[in-house]
Amino acid sequence: MVDKHDEDKTTAVVPEPSQRARDQLFRLAAEQVKDYALILLNLKGEIISWNSGAERITRYLAHEILGRHFSVLHPKEEIRSGAPQRELAITGSMGSVELQGWRLRKDGSRFWAAITINELRDTADERTGYVLILHDNTERRASEEAMAKSRTMLERLFETAPDAIVVVDGGGVIRKVNQQAEVTFGYMREELVGQRIELLIPKRFHKRHRQHLRNYFGDPRARKMGIGLELYGRHQNGSEIPVDIMLNPIEAQDATWVFAVIRDITIQKQGEAKIMELNLALRNQLEQLAATNRELESFSYSVSHDLRAPLRHIIGFVDLLSSKAGTGLDEKSRHYLDVISGAAKKMGLLIDDLLAFSRMGRSEMMKGWVDLGLLVREIVADLQGDLQEREIEWDIAPLPVVLGDAAMLRQVLINLIGNAVKFTRSRAAARIAVGAVDRENEQEIYVRDNGVGFDEAYANKLFGLFQRLHANEEFEGTGVGLAIVQRIVLRHGGRVWAEGGVGAGACFWFSLPKKTG
């Protein structure tokens, strides 16, 4: 018999749930998971349970997918390779498998899935099916691919950068270098990584550099290193390299490192030295040229002065001889005296022009505002007395007020207008125009005539000293007037040029800058 007391101590046995009940519990739990597809498969791999997460991810409704083989979610190439069967076989042998791969939605589009397959066993430890868990990792994969691509690109940029790049940690130890660092400093990267940065710095700068390094990590920010200082690196062979260095802090392994971009400026320094050398040579040449010009001007001034006295004597004695001899001289003798007197007077004019040319180079400029229109009207009025027997049509346009030396600019206009009057002498009706063109940075003034003109092939000779394109028998002159024009205009910071043609008249231009500096 069983004692009553012993009967009360007997533990009640709760029967295990049936397979159907366990499937029902799985389905209930699966419906609570929205972000994962929880799929129940039988031993053949056919889908027997499908949660709402699976519907959301694959877009299959339960009644469209139940009973179908789970390979329906695999791309065709994986089906052909036998991947679905292998997945179940591996799960059967190992109990569980984790993998990633492309899977198909109902519309045929692909998504990247994180996949876990676990086998299901009953109480007798017999395999009854499989649990397939899918998670859509498409966005994460795209992000990881983008990051990987970005890292690859950055790595490629790092390696192929035209400047040396050295990454240094807070202790001054080299952590990473690029290819150009090997080229610049002559070391293989294996010889640099793990070494202190002082390896690449001349010894005399070591102490100062350590202090600079401490200061930088005390306030890490992007900036140029050694502003105001000349920086040098040390090559593996011991030679020094002039460099520019740009520093940038980077966060790495819970610490701040410095990203140093180092540019070898040897060629730049050599170029600067060459430019300084050329500038010095040019300055010396300009000083020599200025000295030569001063000597030439002084020489021409002295010679001109020294020639005036003998010429005055020649002209004076010719006049005395002519008046004393009177009619006692034969015609040929009087002709000789006339030739001597004319030549002496012409040389006197030439000397006067030379003195004027010399003064224009030496005299100090008295700048002020000059009304060019007023100057032209005054010059034309002064000429009218000598032009009463000539028919000249004047066309004087409005002219600007410019900054310059009034006396010098008057001389420019006198010479140009005087030339226009002279070289239109053969015209029955002469036309002379004076005008201006307003440019952005300068004023351009012209004097145009319808005179005999000149061959434009020789235009570059017109402004040279003693250069003439017409014989003395045709038109008088010394060949100094246009040289004076050019010298005055150049001293004002302008330029001169001429246009014309044989028998087609001429147009002489000069420009004056608008800036007053």
Contacts of 476 (CB under 8 A, 6+ apart): 422
Instruction: Give which of 481, 470, 477, 471 is closest to 508, Cα–Cα.
Output: 481
* Of the candidate ranges 349-353, 371-375, 401-405, 472-476, the one whose mean pLDDT is the lowest: 472-476
Helices 372-384 and 406-423: angle between axes, nearest 10 degrees: 50
pLDDT score for 44: 94
Weakest mean pLDDT among 14-18, 81-85, 93-97, 421-425: 14-18
Please state, for a pLDDT cut of 90, what percent of the chain lies above it: 40
Could you tell me if 405 and 366 are in contact, meaning their C-beta atoms sit under 8 angstroms apart? yes
Instruction: Evaluate if residue 57 carries a pLDDT over 90.
Output: yes
Band of pLDDT at residue 8, cut at 50, 70 and 90? very low
Q: What integer is the mean pLDDT of 69-93? A: 93
Give phi and psi for 218, each to the nearest 5. Answer: -75, -25
**pLDDT for residue 66 is more than 50:** yes
Q: Which pLDDT value is given to residue 26?
A: 56
pLDDT at 471 over 50: no
pLDDT tens-place string over residues 337-355: 777 877 777 676 666 666 6
Is 80 exceeded by the pLDDT of residue 312? no
Q: Taken in order 276, 280, 285, 286, is the CA torsion positive or negative?
A: positive
Q: What is the pLDDT of residues 134-191, one digit of tens each?
A: 999 999 888 888 888 888 888 888 888 899 999 999 889 999 999 999 999 999 999 9
Mean pLDDT (the chain, rounded): 83
pLDDT tens digit sequence for 181-216: 999 999 999 999 999 999 999 999 898 888 888 888
Question: E-strand spans in 355-441?
Answer: 367-371, 392-396, 401-405, 430-438
- Dump the DSSP string for 131-151: EEEEEE-HHHHHHHHHHHHHH
What is the per-residue pLDDT for 6?
A: 47
CB 493 within 8 A of CB 513: yes
Maximum average pLDDT range among 22-36, 155-169, 222-236 = 155-169
The per-residue pLDDT for 384 is 81
- The answer to whether the beta carbons of residues 244 and 224 sit under 8 Å apart is yes
Residue 179's identity, in one-letter code, is Q
SS3 85: helix
Predicted confidence (pLDDT) at residue 302 exceeds the cutoff of 80: no
Q: Are 193 and 271 in contact (CB under 8 A)?
A: no
- pLDDT, greater one: 207 or 6: 207
What is the C-alpha to C-alpha distance for residues 163 and 179, in angstroms, rounded to an integer? 9
Q: Is the pLDDT of residue 16 over 50?
A: no
Amino acid in the structure at residue 199? L
Is the pLDDT at 71 greater than 70? The verdict is yes
User: Can you tell me the distance from the alpha carbon of 223 to that of 383, in angstroms, rounded to the nearest whole number?
Assistant: 72
Range scoring the smallest mean pLDDT among 13-22, 145-154, 207-216, 363-372: 13-22
Region 348-370: what's the mean pLDDT?
69
Residue 496 corresponds to which tokens in the numbers above?
């001169």
Query: What backbone phi and psi angles, to 5 degrees, belong to 3?
Result: -65, 145
Name which of 472, 445, 460 is nearest 372 in CA terms: 445
- Note the pLDDT of residue 297: 66
54 vs 473: which has the higher pLDDT: 54
d(CA 380, CA 418): 9
**Mean per-residue pLDDT, 108-118:** 94
Say which residue the tokens 């001289």 belong to: 329
The per-residue pLDDT for 447 is: 93
What are the tens digits of pLDDT across the range 415-447?
A: 899 889 888 888 888 899 999 999 988 999 999
What's the rounded Cα separation, in Å, for the pair 359 and 364?
9
If you average pLDDT over residues 443-458, what whole number do you get? 86
Model pTM greater than 0.85? no
246-260 pLDDT, tens per residue? Answer: 999 988 777 889 989
Tell me the two tokens of residue 56: 């959301």
- As a whole number, mean pLDDT of residues 498-511 equals 88
Any residues with CB less than 8 A from the CB of 216 and at least 6 apart, and which? Answer: 247, 258
